[in-house]
Amino acid sequence: MKPIQVGLLGIGTVGSGTFNVLRRNQEEIRRRAGRGIEIHSVFARSIERARKVVGDDVKVVTDANEIISNPEIDIVIELIGGYEIAKTLVMQAIAAGKHVVTANKALLAVHGTEIFAAAREKGVMVAFEAAVAGGIPIIKALREGLTANRIEWIAGIINGTTNFILSEMRAKGLDFAVVLKEAQRLGYAEADPTFDIEGVDAAHKVAIVSAIAFGVPVQFEKAYVEGITKLQAADISYAEQLGYRLKLLGITRRRDTGIELRVHPTLVPSKRLIANVEGAMNAVLVHADAVGTSLYYGKGAGSEPTASAVVADLVDVTRLHTADPHHRVPHLAFQHDSLATTPILPIEEVVTSFYLRLQVADQAGVLARITGILAEKGISIDALLQRPQDADEGQSKTDVIIMTHETVEGRMNEAIALMQALPTVLAPIVRIRKEELN
């Protein structure tokens, strides 16, 4: 059979990896897919730069329309990134009856509902394994491998840049700003690292994963998002002494009243495998009723690790592109007419346990007042640690660290407001959520 023809939009880090992996492994890929997969044309801004990757045999165009309206092309890969151009081109490709493969989590998190609806209407596939945790086949696992299960929760390290920064902060005892500079120098963090460090990239990914796990629409706009920019080395060190590691987790969990969807720095018991995922690596923990807890670990970014997922999607699409659309795997794992309207819970209704650090005056009765407020709010204390600080202008200060049992966030907010108002609490209270993940 004649090779299936692919148009590639964007040939940067992931685009060039995709081209190279496809070419290097073409024979293996052909044996798996049942026919060859060939890059027909590449859309790039600079023909010269694209030629450096693809050589002279592949057509390079500077007008995307030459790909989208070409009847010889069956599949379009979008690897430009961002919202506007990517969305226009993906919607045009779908309208032209082409299957789409994309690594663009930002696009799917924000416009997924519209894109999937358009694809369904046209009977084409939109495949996006590379969009979440790069090369780790987590979309495949959730959509296909775990379909027997009722999924209870998912917690993942799904942003490599922030995991690298947190690993460095812990290993070297440095504060956030210092490590960010180092990460940028080493090329881990982008020149504008906002989406990574503010948790937005992880929220894009967890919104996609949540939809597939629970059979609800992608609802990034309802996610609670908190990044790592305000974290201090002192809290990483105190948490370590109490047996916890700090990770930026994307978490989604089924509750009786709705679905939790959140990204924030999270303390995890040091003995958990996921707590020991270091550097830029990713890991996703899935808890489901039949299989129990399973962990998916690997490279969440990089040219060829991400291309691994893009090419796997190409193989899937090649195998299924002549199949009746009803026989394909639904975009969000559940049949589209079976998606649920379960609400996403506001953060005030989320249930977690907490780490609190209070800088207090070292006086009689201070601790009693603090624990009194927690008791009044029905919040139970799990562990308590007191560390003296240097005396400052004659006043003796101390750090009090409190680990609580689970409580609803709204109640913790009330307790923190009351504690913060005490004259003996000398600095803003640090609060970090904690998850046992068992």
Ligand X SMILES: N[C@@H](CCO)C(=O)O
Q: Which residues are annotated as a binding site for NADPH?
A: 105
Active site residue 205: yes
Q: Which stretch binds ligand X (CB under 6 A): 30-38, 156-164, 341-349, 420-428?
A: 156-164
x/- track of binding to ligand X for residues 205-244 (CB under 6 A): ----------------------------------------
Stretch of 12-20, 57-65, 159-167, 412-420 contacting ligand X, by CB under 6 A: 159-167
The residue within the footprint of ligand NAD, chosen from 14, 124, 179, 403 (CB under 6 A), is 14
CA distances for 388 relative to 66, 85, 359, 400, angstroms: 69, 55, 10, 9
In terms of DSSP H, where are the helices of 160-269?
Answer: 160-172, 176-185, 194-197, 200-214, 233-241
Query: 3-state class of 317 per DSSP?
Result: helix
Q: Is 160 in the site for ligand X (CB under 6 A)?
A: yes
**Is 134 a binder of ligand X (CB under 6 A)?**
yes
Stretch that binds Na ion, among 69-77, 129-137, 320-328, 351-359 (CB under 5 A): 129-137
Q: How near is the Cβ of 138 to ligand NAD at its closest, in Å? A: 12
Q: Which stretch binds Na ion (CB under 5 A): 132-140, 235-243, 282-290, 346-354?
A: 132-140
Within 92-151, the residues that bind ligand NAD by CB under 6 A are: 103-104, 130, 134
Contact 42, 8 (CB under 8 A): yes
Partner whose binding site includes residue 85, from ligand X, ligand NAD, Na ion, none (CB under 5 to 8 Å by kind): ligand NAD
Rg (CA), the chain: 24
How far apart are CB 302 and ligand X at their closest, in Å? 8
Is residue 13 packed enough to be buried (19+ CB in 10 Å), middle (13-18) or exposed (0-12)? middle
Say which of 87, 98, 205, 247 is annotated catalytic: 205
CA distance 69 to 90: 12
196 binds ligand X (CB under 6 A): yes
Q: Which two tokens stand for residue 289?
A: 């009723």
Answer for which of 74, 78, 129, 316 binds Na ion (CB under 5 A) is 129
How far apart are CB 284 and Na ion at their closest, in Å? 9
Residue 215 main-chain phi, psi, to 5 deg: 65, 50
Distances 270 to 228, 266, 437 between C-alpha atoms, Å: 19, 12, 11
> Burial, 378: exposed, middle or buried (Cβ in 10 Å; 0-12, 13-18, 19+)?
exposed
* C-alpha–C-alpha distance, residues 140 and 133, integer Å: 12
* Phi–psi pair at 268, nearest 5 degrees: -130, 140
Query: Which is nearer to ligand NAD, 36 or 302 (by Cβ)?
Result: 302
Which one-letter amino acid corresponds to residue 62?
A: T
Q: How far apart are the first and last CA of the chain?
A: 50
From the list ligand NAD, Na ion, ligand X, none, partner contacted by residue 159 (C-beta under 5 to 8 A by kind): ligand X
Q: In the numeric block, which tokens belong to residue 235?
A: 């809290």
Q: Is 301 in the site for ligand X (CB under 6 A)?
A: yes
Question: And the tokens for 304?
Answer: 């060829």
Which of ligand NAD, Na ion, ligand X, none lies near 129, with the C-beta cut-off 5 to 8 A by kind? Na ion
Q: Which residues pair with 401 in a beta bridge?
A: 357, 385
Closer CB to ligand NAD, 125 or 301, in the complex: 301
Q: Which is nearer to ligand NAD, 138 or 367 (CB)?
A: 138
Q: Are strands 99-102 and 59-61 parallel, antiparallel or unpaired?
A: unpaired
Query: Across the strands, what pairs with 245?
Result: 268
At residue 83's C-alpha, the angle toward residues 78 and 89, to 5°, is: 45
For the annotated binding site for L-homoserine, the residues are: 190
Q: Are residues 379 and 412 in contact, defined by beta-carbon separation less than 8 angstroms?
A: yes
Residue number with CB closer to ligand X (89 or 109): 109
Q: What is the closest distance, in whole angstroms, from the C-beta atom of residue 12 to ligand NAD in the complex?
A: 2
Considering only the stretches 9-17, 155-163, 236-244, 396-404, report the one whose residues sit in contact with ligand X under the rule CB under 6 A.
Answer: 155-163
Which residues are identified as catalytic?
A: 205
Binding site for ligand X (CB under 6 A): 134, 159-161, 196, 201, 300-301
Binding site for Na ion (CB under 5 A): 129, 132-133, 136, 138, 309
Binding site for ligand NAD (CB under 6 A): 10-15, 43-45, 79-81, 85, 103-104, 130, 134, 301-302, 306
